[in-house]
Structure 1
Amino acid sequence: MKIAVFSTKSYDQEYFEKYNEKYGYIFSFYETALNADTARLSADCDVVCVFVNDVVNEETIQILASNGVKLIALRCAGYNNVDLEAAEKADIKVVRVPAYSPEAVAEHALALILTLNRKTHKAYNRVREGNFSLKNLIGFNLNNKVIGVIGTGKIGATFCKILKGFGCKILAFDISKNDELIELGVEFLPLEEVLKQADIISLHCPLNKHTKHIVNENSIASMKDGVMIINTSRGALINTAEAIEGLKNRKIGYLGIDVYEQEENLFFEDLSEHIIQDDMILRLLSFPNVLITSHQAYFTKEAMNQITIITLENIKSFENNTELKNVVR
């Protein structure tokens, strides 16, 4: 079984090679992202393995199909970058990793909250320069704050459980209620009420036509003054331009994001010696109350182990013509 792995970083190759002894697959690792221009690299391969910023649209899929590719193996949970209709027409199966380590992402969301609130990143830099002043480092207690959680799947549910330990009041919105969370004291309300009442809003929902730009000018206007917004899910859940306006007029008091609408041109790359052309990200970086990490919420040893193993097992199931438990339809 020949597999072309796109958007490969050194750690991806390390983990696939570590676990491949059991499977014996032939990998071709490519640093480049998959798109219509690079799809030719899949020639003679049975499978392509892709990540969050690969562009698997209809044009790309047609090229994959002509090259004989029969399986698209996502090594992530989200699949909004794949044209599923085009894949079905081309008779190409799509599989994903639906749950690898919800704790990894939920804990990173908490890290963004604590860092923004207590300004530990700024304190660290100050102390290293011999500045031991506490001026402008004041934060607030998380205890008794109202946390709004949008999406209570595995990650959102784990996040709720963690924040319960801080003594927070948790309000949640999802298209289906989670009975386990209700027993823990999480209150499910309509989206408008969650946005209106929360001191901190954390996004844990997938990106689709219903959730795109769920944070926009109108929803921001309904939020509390000085609200904290956290996004560890998908960049396009937030309308970046309208969030910037919210920051400028101080409606948004804090913004922590691990994902960004245009991240495919930025994240996972070292651009320290380049002139960044994205004016939106540069504007966000200019705010003292904005914290950006580069899609690292998933990045723990435990998560990488699970992502690799589940991806390989997905491919094995396809190879053996057995049930594809993680197929995306």
Structure 2
Amino acid sequence: MQVSTSHTRLAQGEFAGIGCEVMERGALSLNDTSVMNKTEEFDPFCVELFVGPLVWGILSVPCACVGLPASLRLLWALIQRQRRGLSNDVYMLNLTIMDLIFNIILIPGVINYFVWQDYATWRITDFFYCLSLSGRPLFMACICVDSYIAVVHPVVYMKTKHSKYRLVASALVWNLTLAFGVLFIHSVEPLFSITTLIFFTLCLTTITFCDGAIFLALRKPDPSGRSDVHPQKQRALQTITNSLVMALVSYLPPMVVFGFAHLIQQVVPVQMMFCTIVAVAYIGTTFGSAALPLLYLGNLGIFKDLTTLSFGCVKRA
């Protein structure tokens, strides 16, 4: 959530220095100097409006402390399941790697924002934040589409069950994600524009449609006419509900803020918008990087196994 140290040219209506932009440093022209004299210097570290970033930092640290070990544990469990042929969680494996990278970089990013204020560190953390903003919703959409095909169109799923299709899709997502990260670093316009609104709308619409279709399919009574839900179906319904809630909590606020940024800045000063609205929008994404691994670990029964082991140790004692 860091920004460039360049001066904001409010007189020309530019929204410079917010989010992922990295502007080239250099000598100011005469026009730039005149604009600078008419406007206040933009403060990327929100010294006067520190409440929003402080809330973001306070919540980011525990999220990283929880999300990092959870992502490591989930990654290990997914690798073991993949080796034993118990699942084909290629998308979830890639999403976990992305969450792991983000959680690793999160605490240094918070420390740099409040303490170090180093330009190079800011660029690195900003790049990985862009990866989380663009890569995670894409992989979540892939997971939902894969589950939708498996439940609603099982014949098609059996024909495309081979991992090569998911590996190709995962490689495409990674390439798109890296391209988005590089693009957002060099120019903020695609992030704070209709492009971001369309991107998040497509991802959230896909996730909502697939989860809704799966929910309706699992709620249908079986051929025997029984209307009660099988425990396995109940767990699947819980997984779908968690997926939809996490997607909306994590990416609905960024979609609104980034997609309508040019409208919001017409009524809210740029400095206040960044230090309050944008800071709050990042909290959902940060929370999702910790909550999603925990939810998936619960779906795999990891917590249940740990609880059983703990009670066994207590009984032996």
Instruction: Report the TM-score range of the alignment, normalised by the length of the smaller protein.
Output: under 0.3
Where is the strand percentage greater, Structure 1 or Structure 2? 1
Where is the helix percentage greater, Structure 1 or Structure 2? 2
Give the greater-gyration-radius structure (CA). 2
Structure-2-length-normalised TM-score: 0.23
